[in-house]
């Protein structure tokens, strides 16, 4: 029986990033807006505590105008979570829920 060396994985640190909390277990039916800080790419983590449709809108001009995704809203039929990879060039992102179900949203961006 041979012994194999165990080397812990190393963390890749070539990209600097930031995590933004857009909502922390809250009602987003009135909408929440987060600034994207010139991210090259970003991942959106969404966790819903109940049934809700969430529209995601993007602003290319510092929040003056917002445009929605052609794919339509994210639909949760019950408590659930999803992860979305984004490469949309925008200065701000807005989330609007169609119910008062509580939602948490984290955005992890890479510069």
pLDDT tens across 4-58, in order? 555 555 554 556 789 999 999 999 999 999 999 888 899 999 999 999 999 999 9
* Mean pLDDT estimate for the chain: 89
Q: How far apart are CA 21 and CA 104, in angstroms?
A: 8
Domain boundaries, the chain: 17-110
Predicted pLDDT of residue 8: 59
Sheet arrangement for strand 41-48: 17-27, 102-110, 41-48, 80-86
pLDDT number for residue 2: 45
Report the CATH architecture of 17-110. Answer: Sandwich (2.60)
pLDDT value, residue 18: 92
Q: What is the pLDDT of residues 30-44, one digit of tens each?
A: 999 999 988 889 999
């Amino acid at each position: 029986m041979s012994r194999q060396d165990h080397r812990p994985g190393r963390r890749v640190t070539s990209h600097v990033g930031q995590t933004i909390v857009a909502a922390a277990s809250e009602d987003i039916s009135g909408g929440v807006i987060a600034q994207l800080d010139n991210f090259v790419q970003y991942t959106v983590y969404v966790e819903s505590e109940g049934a809700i449709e969430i529209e995601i809108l993007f602003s290319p001009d510092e929040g003056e105008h917002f445009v929605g995704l052609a794919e339509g809203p994210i639909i949760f039929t019950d408590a659930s979570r999803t992860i979305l990879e984004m490469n949309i060039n925008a200065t701000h992102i807005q989330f609007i829920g169609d119910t008062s179900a509580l939602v948490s949203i984290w955005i992890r961006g890479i510069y």
